[in-house]
Amino acid sequence: MSSTSLATSPTFVNGDVSFWFREVGVPTHRPALPGDVDVDVALVGGGYTALWTAYYLKQAQPDLRIAILEKEFAGFGASGRNGGWLSAEPPGQMRRYAKAHGQEAAIAMQREMFSSVDEVIQVAAEEGIEADIQKDGLLHVATNAAQERRLRERLPSLRAEGWGEDDLIELDRDQLAERVRVAGARGAQWSPHCARIQPAKLVRGLADVVERMGVAVYEGTEVTEIHPRRAVTVHGTVKATYVIRCLEGFTAGLRGHRRVWLPMNSSMIVTEPLPASGWEEIGWRGAELIGDEAHSYCYIQRTTGGRIAIGGRGIPYMFGSHVDQRGETKTATQLQLQTILRQHFPATEGVAIDHTWSGVLGVPRDWCATVHLNERTGLGWAGGYVGHGVTTANLAGRTLRDLILRQHTDLTRLPWVDRTVRGWEPEPLRWLGVRSLYVAYRAADRHENSGLRHTSVIARAADIISGR
CB 43 within 8 A of CB 67: yes
DSSP 461: H
Residue 316 touches ligand FAD, criterion: CB under 6 A: no
Q: Does 226 bind ligand FAD (CB under 6 A)?
A: no
Maximum pairwise Cα distance, the chain:
63
Binding flag, residue 415, ligand FAD (CB under 6 A): no
Residue 311 binds to ligand FAD (criterion: CB under 6 A)? yes
388 belongs to the binding site for ligand FAD (CB under 6 A)? yes
Our finding on whether 79 is near ligand FAD (CB under 6 A) is yes
Distance CA 119, CA 398 (A): 11
250 binding ligand FAD? (CB under 6 A): yes
| Cα torsion angle, 321, 325, 327, 328, sign | negative
Cα(188)–Cα(90) distance, integer angstroms: 18
**Segment contacting ligand FAD by CB under 6 A, of 75-83, 133-141, 161-169, 460-468:** 75-83
Minimum separation from the CB atom of position 234 to ligand FAD (A): 9
User: Interacting stretch for ligand FAD, rule CB under 6 A, among 159-167, 372-380, 387-395, 427-435?
Assistant: 387-395
Closest residue to ligand FAD using C-beta atoms: 389
Residue 451 CB, shortest distance to ligand FAD, in Å, is 31
**Which long-range contacts does 206-212 make (Cβ < 8 Å, 24+ apart)?**
206/48, 206/51, 206/52, 206/55, 206/74, 206/127, 206/129, 207/46, 207/51, 207/74, 207/75, 209/55, 209/127, 209/129, 210/51, 210/54, 210/55, 210/58, 210/66, 210/68, 211/30
Which one among 202, 254, 260, 290 touches ligand FAD, defined by CB under 6 A? 254
CB 319 within 8 A of CB 431: yes
Tell me if 200 contacts ligand FAD by CB under 6 A. no
- The single residue among 39, 53, 70, 141 that binds ligand FAD, judged by CB under 6 A, is 70
- One-letter identity of residue 420: T
Amino acid at position 27, single letter: P
Instruction: Please identify, among the stretches 46-54, 101-109, 137-145, 370-378, the one whose residues bind ligand FAD according to the rule CB under 6 A.
Output: 46-54
Interface region with ligand FAD, contact rule CB under 6 A, candidates 72-80, 117-125, 166-174, 181-189: 72-80
43 vs 240: CA distance, rounded Å? 10
- Cα–chain center distance at 107: 21
Binding residues for ligand FAD, rule: CB under 6 A, are: 44-50, 69-72, 76-79, 81-85, 87, 222-223, 246-250, 253-254, 266, 268, 299, 311, 359-361, 383, 385, 387-391, 393
